Structure 1
Amino acid sequence: MKKNLPYIAFAAPALIVYVIFAIVPIFLSLLLSFTNFDGFGANYKFIGFQNYATALHDDRFFYSIQVTLLITVVSCFLINLFALLFAIVLNNLRKLKGFYRTIIFYPQVLSFVVVGFIWTYIYNYNDGAINFIFGKLGLESWMQDWLGDSGIVVFSVTLVIIWQSVGFYTVIYLANLQTVPGEVLEAATIDGANRFQKFKNVLFPLMSPAFTINWILCFISGLKTYDVVKVMTDGGPGFKTETIAFNIISQAFVANKQGYGSALAMLLFVFVAIVSVIQVVYLRKREVEL
């Protein structure tokens, strides 16, 4: 035990902070989810599972789940696709590697709030860059109300998430690529493998750990999407871009139903945990098979 005291002493500050700001709030949210607390008065009471029963019959909540899953699945697929392509290109560059890496990673440095404001101006129907370019090219029929059209607004927001996030995942793929032994690729070349065959049979199996990490991190991040939606659309038009996290904040702090909002937060917590465990088990098994 004495041998472990230095390690415990070093870990204690971080552990205390984690318990105070992560574990305790989770338990407080769990307790509040069984009450009708409105966030203000002390006269709230225990109502059992009523908040959870309400959530299971709330069409708005289930629609927010659909929106969240759509944004998450589409963004994760395209982020990983582009990140992998960028990583391969960057790994094969001979000149200006640092410059192009900086260009691709730069959006990640910006917060989603800043990115949301930038793209809100880009998407603006009257003065935005996209419609301005289409107008100058004589493509007026392509001009859209990117954040006001309920048919495309979800994809407009998803594009912003992809643009901001792809640099981070590119770095992870690139780091994994640089650990691939050159001798393995040389042997594949000698055996007559073309570029696609080398990628399919050599690179991709060796990059499975990076794919597992990226997909899980991306999926968890997508399920918690809030800030970019708040800045760009405020959940609109209607509820077309209202994610689970946005719905939770709206119920707890706008509608003053913190008990109900806590119940939704606990459902999101359980959902993220279950999805994460399933993905880890499946993707780890896939790594072994590859």
Structure 2
Amino acid sequence: MKAWNRTRYPFYFIVPALLVYGLFFVYPTLTGFAYSFTDWSAYSDEVHYIGLDNFRDLFSEGVLGLAVRNTLLYAVVVTVLVNAIGLLLAMMLNRSTRVTAFYRTAFYTPVVIAPLIIGYVFTAIYSPEDGPLNQALRWIGLDVLAVDWLNDSRYALFSIMMTEVWRSAGFAMVVYLAGLKTIPRDLLEAADVDGAGALRRFKNVVFPLLAPSFTINILLTVINSMKVFETVLVLTNGGPGYDTEVFNTLIFRNFSRGNWGYATASGLVLTLIISIVAIVFLRMLRKREVDL
């Protein structure tokens, strides 16, 4: 009997966490799945099952294609730039000194700042008249580059991307730094003895051994980029027009209009898209780890 109690003892600590997880994640997820097949809205007290009507309306909506395109383009560009810059920063700061510790902290700080706050800060930075960015461009004689970053359809999505890259590169840097610390110095010294330059050392030693770090960073960046919401909402609210509309702003717009069942169906579609993309990327990256 005492042995049985000792076996069950760890579950006493797990059960509260499972209850919280079930209440705040599993139950809302299952409820949302059910409501996506109904006409749930702010305009009626009754909820009726309507089958796939919400999904038919969603895929017939012209804005959906634009939102999907913007979301995927955003995810691709942000993923590439965040990982490239994060890896570059990690390679530059892969030393334990006071200076590198300061810069690591400085580059990581944006990660812990709320996206809403960052959005408001960059709204001021991108201001066409008195924003610091345009003022700096005019000061160095590049007046032609001082544009309306958030209200011009040619630059709005690009401006949001750069904001997210600035915010997220520090997280990628930390993951790559952790990966660099696991690389045995003996291998790098052996490569030096063999006459390998910096590029060959990176290609043949560092890059293959950073495969797990690449898997983590790329997967997390892709998922988070496809879920982008707060930054777009604050900076452009999907505008000008629908030029920066992404999937989550489309969902938010329909929730705001009281079309709750329709918006829930949109959220379910986004969840499926993210799940499919994440599974594909995970398999590709795991296969790369094995091949290396």
The offset of 1:93, in angstroms, is 6.4
Question: In structure 1, what is the Cα distance between the partners aligned to 2:81 and 2:261?
Answer: 36
Q: Given the alignment of the two structures, is residue 151 of structure 1 paired with residue 154 of structure 2, yes or no?
A: yes
The offset of 1:256, in angstroms, is 0.9
Q: Given the alignment of the two structures, is residue 38 of structure 1 paired with residue 41 of structure 2, yes or no?
A: yes
Q: Tell me the secondary structure at the aligned position of residue 56 of structure 1.
A: helix
Q: Given the alignment of the two structures, is residue 245 of structure 1 paired with residue 248 of structure 2, yes or no?
A: yes
1:259 paired residue number: 261
1:137 paired residue number: 140
Q: Any stretches of 5+ residues in structure 2 without a counterpart?
A: none
Question: In structure 2, what is the Cα distance between the partners aligned to 1:150 and 1:198?
Answer: 43
The offset of 1:40, in angstroms, is 5.8
* Equivalent residue in structure 1 for 2:76, among 67, 73, 77: 73
The offset of 1:39, in angstroms, is 3.6
Question: In structure 2, what is the Cα distance between the partners aligned to 1:255 and 1:160?
Answer: 28
The offset of 1:94, in angstroms, is 4.7
The offset of 1:202, in angstroms, is 0.3
More off after superposition, 73-82 vs 34-43: 34-43
Question: In structure 1, what is the Cα distance between the partners aligned to 2:114 and 2:139?
Answer: 31
More off after superposition, 42-51 vs 111-120: 42-51
Q: Tell me the secondary structure at the aligned position of residue 193 of structure 1.
A: coil
Question: In structure 2, what is the Cα distance between the partners aligned to 1:219 and 1:2?
Answer: 44
Q: Given the alignment of the two structures, is residue 16 of structure 1 paired with residue 19 of structure 2, yes or no?
A: yes
Question: In structure 2, what is the Cα distance between the partners aligned to 1:202 and 1:18?
Answer: 41
More off after superposition, 7-16 vs 239-248: 7-16
1:126-156 deviations in Å (ceiling 9; x for gaps): 1101111122222221110000100110000
Q: State the identity %.
A: 36
1:176-233 deviations in Å (ceiling 9; x for gaps): 1011100010111111111100100000100000000000000000010000111111
Q: Tell me the secondary structure at the aligned position of residue 187 of structure 2.
A: helix
Moved over 2 A (4+): 1-4, 39-42, 92-95
* Equivalent residue in structure 1 for 2:126, among 123, 127, 134: 123
1:9-57 deviations in Å (ceiling 9; x for gaps): 1111211111111111111111111111114642221111100111121
Q: Give the alignment's TM-score, normalised by structure 1.
A: 0.96
More off after superposition, 85-94 vs 197-206: 85-94
More off after superposition, 158-167 vs 47-56: 47-56
Question: In structure 1, what is the Cα distance between the partners aligned to 2:191 and 2:119?
Answer: 45
Question: In structure 1, what is the Cα distance between the partners aligned to 2:274 and 2:253?
Answer: 20
Q: Tell me the secondary structure at the aligned position of residue 9 of structure 2.
A: helix
Task: Specify whether residues 71 and 4 from structure 1 end up closer, same or farther in structure 2 by C-alpha distance, changes over 3 A only.
Answer: farther
1:276 paired residue number: 278
Question: In structure 2, what is the Cα distance between the partners aligned to 1:92 and 1:162?
Answer: 24
Question: In structure 2, what is the Cα distance between the partners aligned to 1:92 and 1:193?
Answer: 21
2:55 paired residue number: 52
Give the length in aligned residue pairs.
289
Root mean square deviation of aligned Cα: 1.3
Q: Give the alignment's TM-score, normalised by structure 2.
A: 0.96
